[in-house]
Structure 1
Amino acid sequence: MKTIIVFAIVVTMSIVSAFSQDISGDWNGEAKRGEKLITFVFKIEKENSKYSSTMSVPTFRVSGIKPSTTTFIDGKLIIDGSNVGMNYKGIFNKESQQFEGTYKEGGLEMTLNLKKGAIKIEDLRRPQEPVKPYPYYEEDVVFKNIEAKVSLAGTLTLPNKNEKFPVVILISGSGPQDRDESFMGHKPFLVLADHLTKQGIGVLRFDDRGHGESTGDFGNATTEDFSKDVLSAITYLKTRNDVDIKNIGLIGHSEGGIIAPLVANNSKDVAFMVLLASTGISGTELSVMQSKTLRQFPVKDEIAYEKNTRKAIAIVTSNKSDLEIKNELTTHYNAFIKPILTSLNVPEEKINLFIESQLKTSLKPWSRYFLQYNPADEIEKLQMPVLSLNGSKDTQVNAKINQEGIRKALIKGGNKDYEIIELENLNHFFQECETGNMDEYRKIEQTFSPTALKEISNWIFKRIDVN
Structure 2
Amino acid sequence: MISILNFIQTGRLRSNSNKIKTYNMKKIYTLLTILFLSVASYAQDISGLWNGTVNISEDKSINFIFNIAYIGTDYVTIIDIPSQRVSGLKPQKTFLENGVLFIDGANLGIKYQGTFNKDLQQFEGNFTEGVNVLPLNLKKGDIKPEKTTKRPQEPVKPYPYLEEDVVFENTEASVSLSGTLTLPKKKGKFPVVILISGSGPQDRDETVANHKPFWVLADYLTRQGIAVLRYDDRGVGSSTGSFSNATTKDFSTDVLSAVDYLKSRRDIDVNNIGLIGHSEGGIIAPLVANQTKDVSFIVLLASTGIPGSEISLIQATTMRPFPVPDEAAYEQAIRKAITIAASYKELSVIKSELSTHYNATIAPILKPLVGDDTKVSQIINGLIETRTTPWIRYFYNYNPANEIEKLSIPVLSLNGTNDTQVSAEINQKGIKDALIKGKNKDYKILQLEGLNHFFQESNTGKMDEYSAIEQTFSPLALKEISNWIIQHMR
- Give the TM-score of the pair, scaled to structure 1: 0.93
Describe the SS at the equivalent of 1:118.
coil
Name 2:344's counterpart in structure 1.
Answer: 319
Matches within 5 A, 1:270-419: 270-344=295-369, 348=373, 350-419=375-444
CA apart distance, 1:341: 2.3
Matches within 5 A, 1:36-435: 36-122=60-146, 123-124=148-149, 126-160=151-185, 162-344=187-369, 348=373, 350-435=375-460
Contact 1:288-1:309 within 8 A present in 2 as well: yes
Moved more, 440-449 or 228-237: 440-449
Q: Distance in 2 between matches of 1:296 and 1:446?
A: 27
Name 1:2's counterpart in structure 2.
Answer: 4
CA apart distance, 1:350: 4.6
Describe the SS at the equivalent of 1:220.
coil
Contact 2:4-2:129 within 8 A present in 1 as well: no
Contact 1:377-1:409 within 8 A present in 2 as well: yes
Contact 2:308-2:399 within 8 A present in 1 as well: yes
CA apart distance, 1:147: 0.8
Contact 1:262-1:378 within 8 A present in 2 as well: yes
CA apart distance, 1:183: 0.6
Q: Distance in 2 between matches of 1:218 and 1:121?
A: 29
CA apart distance, 1:344: 4.5
Residue type of the alignment partner of 1:153: S
Contact 1:135-1:198 within 8 A present in 2 as well: yes
Contact 1:106-1:354 within 8 A present in 2 as well: no
Residue type of the alignment partner of 1:30: T
Contact 2:5-2:56 within 8 A present in 1 as well: no
Q: Distance in 2 between matches of 1:452 and 1:59?
A: 27
CA apart distance, 1:74: 1.6
Describe the SS at the equivalent of 2:276.
strand
Name 2:26's counterpart in structure 1.
Answer: none
Q: Distance in 2 between matches of 1:350 and 1:184?
A: 30
Contact 1:3-1:57 within 8 A present in 2 as well: no
Name 2:56's counterpart in structure 1.
Answer: 33
Moved more, 76-85 or 327-336: 76-85
Name 2:483's counterpart in structure 1.
Answer: 458
Residue type of the alignment partner of 1:25: G
Q: Distance in 2 between matches of 1:161 and 1:216?
A: 35
Residues 446 and 98 of structure 1: is their aligned pair in 2 closer, same or farther, counting only changes over 3 Å? same
CA apart distance, 1:306: 2.2
Identity percentage over the alignment?
A: 63
Describe the SS at the equivalent of 2:385.
helix
Contact 1:221-1:365 within 8 A present in 2 as well: yes
Determine if the alignment matches structure 1 residue 24 to structure 2 residue 47.
yes
Report the aligned-residue RMSD. Answer: 1.8
Contact 2:108-2:242 within 8 A present in 1 as well: no
CA apart distance, 1:348: 4.5
Moved more, 107-116 or 311-320: 107-116
CA apart distance, 1:203: 0.4
CA apart distance, 1:302: 2.6
Residues 125 and 157 of structure 1: is their aligned pair in 2 closer, same or farther, counting only changes over 3 Å? farther
Name 2:38's counterpart in structure 1.
Answer: none
Q: How many residues align?
A: 452
CA apart distance, 1:400: 0.6
Moved more, 109-118 or 327-336: 109-118
CA apart distance, 1:117: 2.4
Q: Distance in 2 between matches of 1:190 and 1:21?
A: 41
Q: Distance in 1 between matches of 2:78 and 2:158?
A: 28
Q: Distance in 1 between matches of 2:354 and 2:251?
A: 27
Deviations 1:34-92 (A, max 9, x none): 12231101111222311221211111111122222211112110112233222211122
Q: Distance in 1 between matches of 2:366 and 2:44?
A: 44
Name 2:474's counterpart in structure 1.
Answer: 449
Contact 1:3-1:58 within 8 A present in 2 as well: no
Task: Provide structure 1 residue ranges, at least 5 long, that are not aligned to the other structure.
Answer: 5-17
Q: Distance in 2 between matches of 1:275 and 1:37?
A: 33
Residues 322 and 56 of structure 1: is their aligned pair in 2 closer, same or farther, counting only changes over 3 Å? same
Q: Distance in 1 between matches of 2:351 and 2:174?
A: 30
Residue type of the alignment partner of 1:47: I
CA apart distance, 1:202: 0.7
Residues 304 and 205 of structure 1: is their aligned pair in 2 closer, same or farther, counting only changes over 3 Å? same
Contact 1:271-1:385 within 8 A present in 2 as well: yes
CA apart distance, 1:245: 0.8
Q: Distance in 2 between matches of 1:316 and 1:3?
A: 24
Moved more, 187-196 or 26-35: 26-35
Describe the SS at the equivalent of 1:46.
strand
Contact 2:165-2:178 within 8 A present in 1 as well: yes
Contact 1:98-1:114 within 8 A present in 2 as well: yes
Describe the SS at the equivalent of 1:67.
coil
Contact 1:2-1:56 within 8 A present in 2 as well: no
- Give the TM-score of the pair, scaled to structure 2: 0.89
Residues 161 and 3 of structure 1: is their aligned pair in 2 closer, same or farther, counting only changes over 3 Å? farther
Contact 2:301-2:415 within 8 A present in 1 as well: yes
Q: Distance in 2 between matches of 1:363 and 1:317?
A: 8
CA apart distance, 1:343: 4.2
Deviations 1:151-205 (A, max 9, x none): 0000000111522111100000000000000011111101111111111111000
